[in-house]
Amino acid sequence: MASSSTSSPPSNLPLKPIPGDYGLPFFGPIKDRLDYFYFQGQDKFFQDRINKHKSTIFKTNMPPGPFIASNPNVIAVLDAVSFPVLFDTSKVEKRNVFVGTFFPSVSFTGGHRVCAYLDPSEPKHSSLKSFILSTLASKHDKFIPLFKTCVSELFIELEDQMAEKGEANYNTLNDTLAFNFFFRLFCDKSPNDTKIASKGPSFANKWLFPQLAPITTLRLPKFLNPLEDLLLHTFPLPFFVAKSDYQKLYDAFNKFSGPILDEAERFGIQRDEACHNLVFLSNFNSYGGLKTGFPALIKWVGLTGEKLHRQLADEIRTVVKAEGGVTFAALERMVLTKSVVYEALRIEPPVPFQYGKAKVDMVIHSHDAAYEIKKGNMIFGYQPFATKDPRVFENPEEFVGHRFVGEGEKLLKYVYWSNGRETEDPTAENKQCPAKNLVVLLSRVFLVEFFLRYDTFTVEAGKLLTGSSATIKSLTKATSI
């Protein structure tokens, strides 16, 4: 592995001016937007600028720019050393920067600025985050048994598709898994027993899309790029395109999550505001996270091949037999399984972007130099570059299942997917994802249940609007348990 000492820069690094520029007003941001979406693509957009400026810290513009974002100018931090400044809420403000340099209309969240858009310095942040953490803690005993039930339902549908078509679209199955799990977790009821029925993922997707459209591309044929850029990246999509779908989600949560909403009043939160925050937590943070996170996990494990599958199956089946079932204690003993989950979160984090506005003048460091950032500057981090920093991770572009086993555990502090270090935990005072530990747990349980049932599989990977697509091409049932 790369030496972790290289990730702590010496204090005597030279202070340099931040390279790069923003171009001409209006035209510079549009040029960068076109490069980002159409002429270069995400990774090449950043890599070309790193090569040009010989620096992992530089000035650029981030989409969407005019006319959605009033100021698209950012200072990009693209290495493992500089990126964590975005976690330090004494130095950066996280107000209204959850999705980028623009802030979607509060119409999407019932007129409320939900917890994700609040800075910890705002009075409501602590009460809302505490309410969310308390809600998750109260459901702790349901996590494993409920998720196992939902995963079993996915496997039945997966096998039906394989038998009928010879392949299965994992993403659509995963959307149903993620939505059903979180709805049942918070509402103690299957969505199939409500007016939502089987349309939950569709409602959630239609609500998510207009909020994320300014920073996504549909990957259409090139001749349609100008039309897409005009429709998605130039003016915000109005709430009315998702209004009826969101109302159905809100009504269902309001009706069936009564005990949680009762508890919100103990935190001084009005019932309506609590419900909108719960819908956001379930359908944006949680469903949205698993919507990209699990297909990435399936993709990378599938592409890595049968040797890793044998190793996972051996570990999982041995530990489950010894422990008498899938328990928290059993999961802690599965060192390779844990490492594979962390590696998937490292190589393809479910949320690739982080933003924060400098609260104070400060000096930040890359591996090679120091740079001064002024109060009011917007700092932007593209996480896949930070978590594939070659000065920290050996063979960073390669999926290495055992990367975090043994001595490799020391590298976990450079896994940043949750808007914080993997070695830290979410609190009411920070902006780390409140469901961080739950996502890791569910990812482990998914692998455990998968390799208790199957020996190996193959997958075909592609790109989607957000994240990766995974098509299961072959699936071999377990020959021994």
59 forms bridges with which residues in the sheet?
20, 75
**Which residues are within 8 A (CB) of 348 and not within 5 positions of it... i.e. 6 or more apart?**
296, 299, 300, 384, 467, 468
The pLDDT score that the predictor gives to residue 12 is 83
Residue range 375-397: average pLDDT? 98
| pTM over 0.85, yes/no | yes
**Which residues are within 8 A (CB) of 254 and not within 5 positions of it... i.e. 6 or more apart?**
261, 275
**Which residues are within 8 A (CB) of 353 and not within 5 positions of it... i.e. 6 or more apart?**
99, 100, 215, 380, 381, 382, 383
Please give the single-letter amino acid code of residue 295. Answer: P
Most distant CA pair in the chain: distance in Å? 65
459 forms bridges with which residues in the sheet?
472
The pLDDT score that the predictor gives to residue 4 is 37
> For residues 405 and 276, what is the distance between their CA atoms, to the nearest angstrom?
40
Nearest alpha-carbon partner for 392 in 127, 115, 80? 80
362 forms bridges with which residues in the sheet?
373
pLDDT in tens, 397-411: 999 999 999 999 999
Tokens of 397: 């572009």
State the pLDDT confidence band at 8, using cuts at 50, 70 and 90. Answer: low
**In contact, 214 and 102? CB cutoff 8 Å:** yes
Average pLDDT, the chain: 96
pLDDT in tens, 29-59: 999 999 999 999 999 999 999 999 999 999 9
From 8-17, 81-90, 404-413, the region with the lowest mean pLDDT: 8-17
Residue with tokens 């981030």: 62
Question: What is the percent of the chain where pLDDT is above 90?
Answer: 96
Please give the single-letter amino acid code of residue 292. Answer: T
Check pLDDT > 60 for residue 224. yes
Residue range 197-218: average pLDDT? 96
Question: What is the percent of the chain where pLDDT is above 70?
Answer: 98
Residue range 181-202: average pLDDT? 97
State the pLDDT confidence band at 481, using cuts at 50, 70 and 90. Answer: low
pLDDT in tens, 260-294: 999 999 999 999 999 999 999 999 999 999 999 99
Parallel, antiparallel, or unpaired: how do β-strands 15-16 and 370-373 relate?
Answer: parallel
The pLDDT score that the predictor gives to residue 6 is 40
State the pLDDT confidence band at 1, using cuts at 50, 70 and 90. Answer: very low
Residue range 158-175: average pLDDT? 98
The pLDDT score that the predictor gives to residue 466 is 84
Q: Cβ atoms within 10 A of the Cβ of 262, count?
A: 11
The pLDDT score that the predictor gives to residue 465 is 84
Residue range 210-218: average pLDDT? 96
The pLDDT score that the predictor gives to residue 3 is 39
pLDDT in tens, 394-453: 999 999 999 999 999 999 999 999 999 999 999 999 999 999 999 999 999 999 999 999
The CA R_g of the chain, rounded to the nearest whole Å, is 22
The pLDDT score that the predictor gives to residue 10 is 61
pLDDT in tens, 97-145: 999 999 999 999 999 999 999 999 999 999 999 999 999 999 999 999 9
Check pLDDT > 70 for residue 365. yes
The pLDDT score that the predictor gives to residue 7 is 47
The pLDDT score that the predictor gives to residue 107 is 98
Please give the single-letter amino acid code of residue 14. Answer: P
Query: Cα 276–278–282 angle (5° rounding)?
Result: 120
Residue range 461-467: average pLDDT? 90
Q: Please give the domain boundaries of the chain with CATH numbers for all domains.
A: 15-477 (1.10.630.10)
Query: DSSP string spanning 294-333?
Result: HHHHHHHHHHH-HHHHHHHHHHHHHHHHHHTSS-HHHHHH
Check pLDDT > 60 for residue 376. yes
